[in-house]
Amino acid sequence: MVAPPDNAPPDDDVLWARSLHYSHGGSPGLIGVCAGVRQGEILAVTGPRGSGKTTLLRCLAGRLVPDQGEVWFNSAPVHTLGALARERLFRDRFAWIGPEPQLLPELKVWENAALPLLIAGAPHRAARAAAHEWLDRLDIGAFAGKRPGVLNRAECQRVALARALVGEPAVLFADEPTAPLHRADRALLLRTLTTAARSHAITVVLATHDEETATAADRSLALTDGRPAASAASPRTTEDQAACSLSA
């Protein structure tokens, strides 16, 4: 494994990026963005639609390779990994939840929740037990033996969150996970995210344009037109940007 450079951010950052630039077909998506997230911390990436939130999450998760800049997960240089290595890293250490649940209708609820473990070859009984545990935490355990077709939108999103958490990933990337939900359902999802981060040391990078959702995070990074809006960032996030400027 390659060691991080000497001017790397603090050792307690499990995931960090420096001077990220990314373009969509010639149009800027990210311009000089820096970020660092500690283990078990929740970082909210905020801003209006089109501000670069999803692009940043996809670069941090290795789903996109930045045009310039660095992304490190522990001591792994994500930005230099090949496609297969990045896919393996995403499958083994990361998880993703978006605004659409994307459940498999032919599978039962618990099977949808257990899918990452089943694909990884976990024993059937252990995978089922883990799925039931997370479904119960999300108050959806009563539907474990049903098909997703009997659930409403909010219930399906809870199953999707259980699926994202069942493998206890190192980092959970949550891209507008509460966007389709009413206030009470948003609150339940956010409580579970917070509990997971605290009790299972899961780092959460949460993209949201909703101010109430962002309050669940420990820190925030605001983006505007792909650039960090330092005046709207929390103190340590502002420090990340300052360090980034010095090392660029």
Edge-first strand listing for the sheet containing 203-208: 94-97, 171-175, 203-208, 42-46, 219-224, 227-228
**Positions in the chain whose pLDDT score sits under 70:** 1-11, 230-248
Cβ atoms 35, 209 nearer than 8 A:
no
Structure tokens at 63: 């789903």
For 154-180, the pLDDT digits (tens) are 899 999 999 999 999 999 999 999 887
What is the pLDDT at residue 72?
95
d(C-alpha 225, C-alpha 56), whole Å: 12
What is the pLDDT at residue 242?
54
Structure tokens at 146: 């049903």
What is the pLDDT at residue 189?
82
End-to-end CA separation in angstroms for the chain: 23
Dihedral in degrees, nearest 10, Cα atoms 34, 63, 137, 203: -30
Q: Is the pTM of this model over 0.85?
A: yes
Burial (CB count <10 Å: 0-12, 13-18, 19+), residue 60: buried
What is the pLDDT at residue 142?
95
What is the pLDDT at residue 231?
47
DSSP 8-state code for residue 2: P
What is the pLDDT at residue 233?
46
What is the pLDDT at residue 243?
52
d(C-alpha 110, C-alpha 132), whole Å: 6
Residues 6 or more apart whose CB falls under 8 angstroms from that of 141 comprise: 132, 135
What is the pLDDT at residue 236?
53
Q: Domain segments of the chain: what residues?
A: 13-247
d(C-alpha 63, C-alpha 128), whole Å: 29
Structure tokens at 205: 């990078």
What is the pLDDT at residue 13?
86
Please give the CATH architecture assigned to the domain spanning 13-247.
3-Layer(aba) Sandwich (3.40)
CA-based torsion, 197, 200, 205, 207: positive or negative: negative
